[in-house]
Structure 1
Amino acid sequence: MTILHFTVPPLPEYIISGITEAPEGAKHPNRRNIGVFDLLVVCKGCLYVTENGRAFDIDAGSFLILRPDTHHFPTQGCTVDTLYYWLHFQTSGGWSSEGYNTSSKKEELSELQPFSPNYFTVKVPQYGNLRQPQKAFDLLDSLAALVQNGHKVQSLWQQQVLFQELFEQLTAAMDPPISSPHSICAEQAAAYLRTHYRENFRAQALGESINFHPVYIARCMQKEFGCSPVEYLLHYRIEKAKLLLLQTDHTISWVAEDVGFNHAAYFTSCFSKQEGMSPRKYRQQFS
């Protein structure tokens, strides 16, 4: 496994991102020495890319970081319709890969320095499987939504914050844990809730769908996510609402109904509790 080593501080910096729908036969661009890191995350299908003579098959739930100083090109066209995210980032600090070091900064310190930055190394696999694919997809969706408001200070700040959270998702792919029974149950329940978030929640329907007792599901989700199924669903609905508030001009009532709330007033109350501001104020800060 090729590992990229990033010396921090400073933290890697987000530049821009987007999502591409690649039909069957489409190919990733042929590029040489692009000067920035190019993160590719596949949501559906498979992308075929070669870098430095090594071919990568990036299928659903996996990612590849293309280096800024190499030549990458399509190994072949997509064999099925493929949906993938792309994200460009850079670092003002040092980074290395397989012995190639772009910085003379010290990467590790034996003791803390009280009056100077304490540099350390963050290790990220260049290619791997996401531990929590849906969480990464949600972060990438949020980043893409913020791009249209990139000239606003609040938006620019939020982009960097979301990118750092995404970067943590990449570092977590270093050592994927062995799935325990409770984590499997929790992930299956979360996947069901994300798919059916517009519907009224019924614990019995959730249990029947994934073949676990609702009480056991609640216990597993509390252990894995720190919340109950209802709390997870509420949080997910509000995250979806935030995207709609950014991407559309629909009314608050329309947004509330679209993400599964029966009453706009309850939606506003839940949104304000989670985000610390009303949906209207959240939208206004980006306009």
Structure 2
Amino acid sequence: MLYINFSCPPLPHLIVGGNSLFRKGDIHERRVLNHTFDLIFVFTGALYLEENGQKFSVEPGQFLILPPDTLHKGYKPCAADTAFSWIHFYTTGSYSFSESPISYVSTKMNKHKYYKKDTFYISLPQYGTIDKSFHDVLKSLMDDISQVKIDKYQNEKLFYSSTISQIQYQQLFLKILTLFCDSNERSEEKDVAAEIYDLFTLNYQQNFTLNELAAQYAFHPAHIIRCVKNKYGISPLQLLLSIRLNKAKQLLADRDKSVNGIAASVGFSDTSYFCKQFKKATGMTPVEYRKSIAPVKSE
């Protein structure tokens, strides 16, 4: 993945934002934007863009940043109606490209730093995906800064006057950049959480501690908790419990298996504790649940 790293201060600034609707068969224009970054986020449909020979398929939930002074163009028409938002922005500072983001290393405050900000970096992935849970927030922010509407159905380009102050526009723009900056971290979190889910699914009979997971995935325990909670809404150990109970539900359909045996086979050494957790999760005891899914057949 390519990252665009902005050396700050100064911060990147918003030029203009807009919304576009392309019809099936429409294609993005061929152009070079001088002194302007073009950030595109697709809500529906797909855009097929080429930048300096590299092709990108930007689908719903995905974004692409096209850097200044490079040729970009559509390499094939839209296959369906495509709605997307875009932002033109720039910086008067320096920027660079790298294969990994530049991390901010905080240094201790001292009396010599009262009057000058240390250089820091905003690292934006050029291409990526925004988690679906943030799409509504992103659309609202994009709409708030939009001053241009392009509608291929109506063959019109409409321009709107500013309705808020310039400082508010820049604040909204920086909120949008924050979502794109965080997209890489969320992607990492999802990968770690998914790996832990797979680990638990294959080894649900085993017991795991948070420290063991942290050591296995080389992260701090607090980071492990945050990753799993962000993806599944529960802690790692609660996730393991949920997987065990779901497996127990499957096994309860077999009347030849005892509750004690099922409890042991899904990782519970204490049947009473298993029954307590099962009822807490389902509102029924294991025996009641078994009757509800596999009633005794009458002779």
TM-score, normalised to structure 2's length?
A: 0.54
Q: Look up the SS of the partner of 2:26 in the other structure.
A: coil
Opposite residue 158 of structure 1, the aligned amino acid is: Q
Q: Is residue 172 of structure 1 aligned with residue 182 of structure 2? A: yes
Q: Is residue 135 of structure 1 aligned with residue 137 of structure 2? A: yes
- Listed as ranges, the gaps of 5+ residues in structure 1 are 100-106, 187-215, 217-287
Q: 2: distance between equivalents of 1:47 and 1:5?
A: 25
Q: Is residue 7 of structure 1 aligned with residue 17 of structure 2? A: no
Aligned twin of 1:57: 57
Asked whether the equivalents of residues 18 and 85 of structure 1 are also in contact (C-alpha less than 8 Å), the reply is yes
1:148 deviates by: 2.9
Q: 1: distance between equivalents of 2:59 and 2:40?
A: 10
Asked whether the equivalents of residues 14 and 89 of structure 2 are also in contact (C-alpha less than 8 Å), the reply is yes
Opposite residue 136 of structure 1, the aligned amino acid is: L
Q: 2: distance between equivalents of 1:108 and 1:185?
A: 30
1:173 deviates by: 1.2
Aligned twin of 2:297: none
Residues 83-102 of structure 1: matches in 2 within 5 Å? 83-98=83-98
Opposite residue 142 of structure 1, the aligned amino acid is: D
Opposite residue 19 of structure 1, the aligned amino acid is: N
Q: Is residue 116 of structure 1 aligned with residue 126 of structure 2? A: no
1:89 deviates by: 0.4
Q: Look up the SS of the partner of 1:164 in the other structure.
A: helix
Q: 1: distance between equivalents of 2:174 and 2:107?
A: 25
What are the Cα deviations for residues 73-115 of structure 1, in whole angstroms up to 9, with x where unaligned?
111110111001111000121111149xxxxxxx989665332
Q: Look up the SS of the partner of 1:142 in the other structure.
A: helix
Opposite residue 63 of structure 1, the aligned amino acid is: F
Asked whether the equivalents of residues 39 and 64 of structure 1 are also in contact (C-alpha less than 8 Å), the reply is yes
Q: 1: distance between equivalents of 2:34 and 2:44?
A: 26
Opposite residue 148 of structure 1, the aligned amino acid is: Y
Aligned twin of 2:146: 144
Specify whether residues 72 and 145 from structure 1 end up closer, same or farther in structure 2 by C-alpha distance, changes over 3 A only: closer
1:133 deviates by: 2.3
One of 149, 165, 171 as aligned partner of 1:161: 171
Q: 2: distance between equivalents of 1:119 and 1:83?
A: 37
Q: 1: distance between equivalents of 2:10 and 2:19?
A: 27
1:184 deviates by: 5.0
Identity level (%):
29
Q: 2: distance between equivalents of 1:14 and 1:94?
A: 16
Asked whether the equivalents of residues 37 and 89 of structure 2 are also in contact (C-alpha less than 8 Å), the reply is yes
Q: Look up the SS of the partner of 1:7 in the other structure.
A: strand
Specify whether residues 8 and 80 from structure 1 end up closer, same or farther in structure 2 by C-alpha distance, changes over 3 A only: same
Aligned twin of 1:195: none
Specify whether residues 109 and 43 from structure 1 end up closer, same or farther in structure 2 by C-alpha distance, changes over 3 A only: same
Q: Look up the SS of the partner of 1:27 in the other structure.
A: coil
Q: 2: distance between equivalents of 1:184 and 1:109?
A: 31
Q: 2: distance between equivalents of 1:184 and 1:155?
A: 39
Opposite residue 45 of structure 1, the aligned amino acid is: G
Aligned twin of 1:278: none
The alignment yields a C-alpha RMSD, in angstroms, of: 2.7
Aligned twin of 1:246: none
Opposite residue 128 of structure 2, the aligned amino acid is: G
Asked whether the equivalents of residues 108 and 121 of structure 1 are also in contact (C-alpha less than 8 Å), the reply is no
Aligned twin of 1:244: none
Asked whether the equivalents of residues 35 and 68 of structure 1 are also in contact (C-alpha less than 8 Å), the reply is yes
Opposite residue 141 of structure 2, the aligned amino acid is: L
Structure having the higher Rg? 2
Q: Look up the SS of the partner of 1:11 in the other structure.
A: coil
Question: How many pairs are equivalent?
Answer: 178
Opposite residue 48 of structure 1, the aligned amino acid is: Y
